[in-house]
Copies of this chain bind each other. A is one copy, B any other.
Amino acid sequence: MPTATDTRARLLVAARQAFADLGYGRARVEDVVARAGVGHGTFYAYFKNKRAALAALISENATTLVDLAGQPWRPGDVRASLVEVLGGLSDLYDRDADLIALWTEASIQDPELGQVLDEVRRQFVARIARNIEHAAGQGVTRPVDPLTAATALAAMAEQTMFLRAVRGEPLDRDLTVETLADLWLHALYR
C-alpha cells in the first residue's frame, strides 16, 4: 500500500535521476514517471509542473551544503578542522554530484531558483567569514578582508570539488583535501 508520501518521494528520487541523467532541460516528465513507475498524471498530482519538481528537489536539499560549513574551526588544530570540513565537502560532492550539477543548471534555466541558491551560497560564505573574523580577532591571521577572502576560499573549495566530482577531473580525493587545507591555511594564517 503505497502512501501519498511514498509516491511523492519516489517521484523526487526519479526526478533527481532523470534530471541528472539527461539534464533538467532535456528530461521529459515521461522520463521521470517512467523511473518512478507511476502513470503520467500522477506527476501532476504532486507537482504543479516540471519546474515545481525541480524547485522541490533543490529547496529540499539546499540546507545540506550550508549545514556542513556550520562547524566552527577548532583554534587548537585549525588544519585538522579544515581537513575535516573540506573532506566532508568532498564527500558531499561525491555523493550529491548529480544534485550539484542540477543546481548549476537550475541557476541558469531559472533565475528565481538561482536567487535561492545564491542565498544558500551566501550563507555558506558567511560562516566561513565568521571563522576568519574569529581567527583574526585572535591575531593569528594575516590582514585580509574577511568576506572577500571567504568568498574566494569557498569558491576554491566549491569549484575544485565540482571539477572533481561533476566534471570528472582526475584528482585524488585525499591529496585534494590536504592540498586545499594547506592552501587555505597558509593563505590565511601568518
One complex includes copies of this chain to the number of 4
Q: Does A169 contact B (CB under 8 A)?
A: yes
- List, in ascending order, chain B residues with CB within 8 A of A23's CB: 108-109
CB of A152 within 8 A of CB of B148, answer no
Rounded to whole Å, the gap between the CB of A181 and the closest CB of chain B is: 10
CB of B183 within 8 A of CB of A153, answer yes
Most buried by B among A23, A151, A180: A151
Contact with B along A159-190 (1 / 0, CB 8 A): 11011000101011001100110111011100
Rounded to whole Å, the gap between the CB of A159 and the closest CB of chain B is: 4
Q: Does A39 contact B (CB under 8 A)?
A: no
Q: Does A92 contact B (CB under 8 A)?
A: no
- List, in ascending order, chain B residues with CB within 8 A of A167's CB: 107, 114, 118
CB of A156 within 8 A of CB of B152, answer yes
CB of B163 within 8 A of CB of A151, answer yes
- List, in ascending order, chain B residues with CB within 8 A of A139's CB: none
Main secondary structure of the interface of A (DSSP, over half): helix
Rounded to whole Å, the gap between the CB of A83 and the closest CB of chain B is: 14
From A121, which residue of chain B is reached at the shortest CB distance?
Answer: B163
Q: Does A130 contact B (CB under 8 A)?
A: no
Which of B105, B158, B179 is in CB contact (< 8 Å) with A159? B158
Given contacts A105-B108, A144-B182, A151-B163, 4 further A-B pairs with CB under 8 A are A148-B172, A155-B162, A184-B187, A186-B186
Which residues in A have some Cβ–Cβ distance to B below 8 Å? 23, 25-26, 101, 104-105, 107-109, 114, 118, 121, 142, 144-145, 148-149, 151-153, 155-156, 158-160, 162-163, 167, 169, 171-172, 175-176, 179-180, 182-184, 186-188
Residue contacts A-B, CB under 8 angstroms, 11 given: A101-B108, A108-B108, A144-B179, A148-B171, A148-B172, A148-B175, A148-B176, A149-B179, A151-B160, A155-B163, A187-B187
